Amino acid sequence: MEPAADPTPAAAESPETPAAAPEATEAAGAPAAPVAPEPEAAVEAAAPAATSGLPTPSAAVAFVAPADVPGKVARARAAQVAWAARSVAERVRVLSPVKDRVLDRAEAIGAEVHRETGKPEVEALLSEVLPSADVVDYWTRSIEELLGSTEVELDRMSYPGKSGWTFREPRGVVGLITPWNYPVALPLRTLLPALLAGNTVVWKPSEVTPGAGALVADLFAGLLPEGVLEVTQGGGEVGQALAEAEVDLIVFVGGVATGRKVARACAERVSPCSLELGGKDAAIVLADANLERAANGVVWGALTNAGQNCGAVERVYVEKSVADAFVERVKVEVAALRGGVDIGPMTTERQRGVVAEQVAAEEAGGGKVIQGGSTSERLVPPIVIRVESDASALMQEETFGPVIPIAVVADVEEAITRANASRFGLTASIWSKNTSRAEALAHRLRAGVVTINNHAFTGALPGAPWSGHGHSGYGVTNSPFALEALTRPRFVLTDRSGARRELWWYPYTPGLRQVALSMALLRSSTTGLFRRIGAIFGLLGGFMKRFSK
């Protein structure tokens, strides 16, 4: 697999606070205050003007109306049977060119993501392009083995002449709703395994980044049969229509509030959903940490993509004995960052407002801003703030912005207790030179991903699962575990015995009862020797009675 140099994790969502404007819909643009484009109308992305490094509007992209969604689902349904009937090798052949298309279009992807989200172009290349090529490479190389059938071991005496195999079958039609913060990498992490597994997909990109959505769709142009990938560009009401449509699975990446709505819509249809939601990720800096590396890593982990990343460091717990030295190193690292070059603006005005509110409330409650502090413009200078407790919104709710809250703890036990107190449980990191101790501590953290002496970049590793606990959701992207949602097991048993009837078929006779009781005695580990011998004779006698006619 080609390495993604210093890969930024392609895994994040927006906070859950609902709002009324199109920009304020949650990251994935699912049910929340909708926009209302005309059917198939060409509308422009809701991106701001290009000032002070802010994003510029993308080219016009055709949005669809909610009423168009059922038709797209129907086309995907009609195409699915033929697509699934193709061999896995054939589907791999069809989709393999996507890797080179991603790499060959790197500059265009980086430029469009920069225009729509404001993230630095270099960061877009590292987080959206290189890891996406790795995703294609991983799934096209491994999918045949991962979808392979497995034989189920059967006891030959109990089940003579029988063999059974388990197969992974496609779900059918998958509805995919993805956010704006990693608008290329996140959808590809589901599109590739879903399509390779034999599903068809109806995909709703974020209305905040329609241009990036169009670029992703174009990666598959001319490769797939009609209907295999249906793209539904539009606002929140289009996401709602997809969540309520007759699909076989919804994969949703976004905020908690919208995730709940999606789950309810799926529950009404008794249809599964996969939810990858927000995070409030903690970094624990122990007294024996390499403070230079810890400071550099925490700053990157907190501020990459301007903190608009569900895997971002949003809480730092540092042991008291090294707290002052660590904070000073953080301040030096943050001061060296260049606005618009190393760190971009907040993508939406709504997110800037969330950051401003949380920081102001923290200051009012006794928190001390020790660097930065201005939140009046979308290009928010990174904020470092000392906090005294975890009672505030800044320490409890997802911030999704360039803020580094630092809390001093007495020892590692306090750090773990406070880290685990969050309702979220996505990622965490431990910084220590004693890696054996840190590995043991990792198993005590309530987080789906724990990194030691690093933070959150594992979203760029296609072979490593990305998942969480609690309000971070239960969806899994990357790794073979992702197939648990995208496929369903089918068990096929073949009976070659040729006997007239099975032991357990009708009629139920005294001889069958004797066989059942004798088998229970023989299989129990508490049955003594003499009773076991008696059970053997009872079993033989029962068989004779059972099959005497």
Among 441, 356, 354, 341, which Cα is nearest to 400's? 354
Q: Which two tokens stand for residue 415?
A: 């750090």
Distances (CA, A) of 325 to 301, 318, 389: 19, 10, 20
The torsion of the CA quartet 126, 132, 134, 137, rounded to 10 degrees, works out to -160
Q: Which two tokens stand for residue 139?
A: 């799934």
- The structure tokens 């006698």 sit at 541
- Three-class secondary structure of residue 190 per DSSP: helix
- Three-class secondary structure of residue 488 per DSSP: strand
Q: Are strands 150-152 and 162-170 parallel, antiparallel or unpaired?
A: antiparallel
Q: How many residues in the chain?
A: 549
The torsion of the CA quartet 73, 75, 77, 80, rounded to 10 degrees, works out to -130
Please name the amino acid found at residue 469: H
Please name the amino acid found at residue 496: R
CA-to-CA distance for 372 and 497, rounded, in angstroms?
Answer: 77
Q: Please count the other Cβ atoms lying within 10 Å of the Cβ belonging to residue 156.
A: 9
* 342, burial (CB in 10 Å: exposed 0-12, middle 13-18, buried 19+): middle
Q: Which two tokens stand for residue 395?
A: 């320490």
| Cis status of the peptide bond prior to 120, with omega within 30 of 0 | no
Identify the pLDDT of residue 235: 94
8 A C-beta contact, residue 238 and residue 202: no
Please name the amino acid found at residue 147: L
Identify the pLDDT of residue 16: 39
Distances (CA, A) of 141 to 1, 187, 283, 476, 479: 9, 19, 34, 20, 12
DSSP string across 217-251: HHHTTTTSPTTSEEE----HHHHHHHHTSS-SEEE
Mean pLDDT by 10 residues, the chain (549 residues): 36 37 35 31 34 50 95 98 98 98 98 97 97 98 98 93 97 98 98 98 97 98 98 96 98 96 96 97 98 98 98 98 98 97 96 97 96 94 97 97 98 98 98 98 98 96 97 98 98 94 93 95 95 95 84
Residues with catalytic function: 276, 310
Contacts of 78 (CB under 8 A, 6+ apart): 227
Q: Please count the other Cβ atoms lying within 10 Å of the Cβ belonging to residue 259.
A: 27
Identify the pLDDT of residue 10: 37
Please name the amino acid found at residue 294: A
Q: Are strands 313-319 and 162-170 parallel, antiparallel or unpaired?
A: unpaired
pTM for the model stands at 0.89
Identify the pLDDT of residue 58: 54
Distance between terminal CA atoms of the chain? 65
The torsion of the CA quartet 308, 478, 251, 300, rounded to 10 degrees, works out to 0
What are the b/e assignments for 271-301, b being 16+ CB within 10 Å?
bbbbbbbbbbbbbbbbbebebeebbebbbbb
